[in-house]
Structure 1
């Protein structure tokens, strides 16, 4: 199983690292067939709080049929997150993953570009729920049935409502790509 971990400009490192660590433990310690390929618009992506990260590949190199899932950490508007998150090239990538029925796992506001792409219209999802839930209102404006719960799954799309949920989203994705039993082994080994 191959997961495309997409690091948009201004992504949150904590939300990103949950996918890296959960899949890393699964692959390294338990030999599960799950690997992560990091991706961005450029090879060097600057996260929220100005941490530069080098990614494995860029968006123009991606062939969706080579991946089993797309994982998207959220980010901060003031660090440029929506400049790339709402870019048509990225929205099209989301649509291609959904059309092929592949898993799409988002943390916090990463649900917003998925909503903007149109694939969540008429489906249940969630996003950042604090500060008067204005991000949830933005998601609702894309025709999404917003549910104020920590993690919401509708068909092949996993959404969540704040950074705290990142490990839960990563474990949920691992469970969908392997099995509940295999996920529990990794979860317990990591102390969750």
Structure 2
């Protein structure tokens, strides 16, 4: 049976880091629900202007509603990390032991959620020091799997990211 995946995003997300995993998840029969700051809003991608309708506000959902969490990169994680509900939802997800798929700048949301201490993690080169400061062991690989966390560095890592994410589902 297909799993229910929350994709948390807002404006300026990295288009391919959302569209490609979501397409792969849906092709395998999984359901993706777009979570954002306000239900009904349209989030726009930063490169291609991909429009994604936000299905549910992060303030209305709980980890119990989903089987996994996808966090696309771009500027979206940095915008989400100032929202307490987005941060606590992300922290609850990591702490629930359910799969969390984080690519590129997604680490920023996990850093603010303070859930990287003692974990192995990768992310975009501009946040390597932040990842280390958050207590994680930074590993420069296309995909790093540590327990329920699957992380990748950038759009060129998407195929490996999708492959490992699908294994977790």
Q: Same fold (TM over 0.5)?
A: yes
- Aligned with residue 104 of structure 2, among 97, 103, 108: 108
CA distance in 1, matches of 2:22, 2:77: 20
Distance between the aligned counterparts of 1:83 and 1:35, measured in 2? Answer: 25
CA contact (8 A) 2:71 2:77 kept: no
1:75 Cα deviation from its structure 2 partner: 0.7
Tell me the CA shift for residue 144 of structure 1.
1.3
Is 2:81 aligned against 1:85? Answer: yes
Counterpart pick for 2:132 among 129, 140, 155: 140
Q: What's the CA shift for 1:167?
A: 3.1
| 5+ long unaligned stretches in structure 2 | none
Question: Runs of 4 or more off by more than 3 Å in structure 1?
Answer: 49-52
Distance 1:2 1:81 in 2: 21
Give the corresponding residue for 1:44. Answer: 42
What is the DSSP-based 3-state SS (H/G/I as helix, E as strand, rest coil) of the residue aligned with 1:48? Answer: coil
**Residue of structure 2 aligned with 1:117, choices 113, 116, 122:** 113
State yes or no: 1:70 paired with 2:61.
no
The structural deviation recorded for 1:63 is: 2.0
> Distance in 1 between the 2:72 and 2:46 partners?
11
Question: Normalized against structure 1, the TM-score is what?
Answer: 0.79
CA distance, structure 2, for counterparts of residue 173 and residue 39 of structure 1: 18
Residue 8 (structure 1) aligned with residue 10 (structure 2): yes
Higher helix share: 1
How far off its partner does 1:41 sit? 1.0
Q: Which residue in 2 is equivalent to 1:155?
A: 147
Q: Distance in 1 between matches of 2:4 and 2:50?
A: 25
After TM superposition, the score normalised by the length of structure 2 is 0.88
SS at match of 2:150: strand
Distance in 1 separating the partners of 2:82 and 2:149: 18
Output the aligned Cα RMSD.
1.7
Secondary structure, aligned partner of 2:43: strand
Cα distance in 1 for partners of 2:46, 2:63 equals: 27
> Quick one: distance in 2 between partners of 1:7 and 1:112?
13
Choose 1 or 2 for highest CA Rg: 1
- The number of residues matched between the two structures is 164
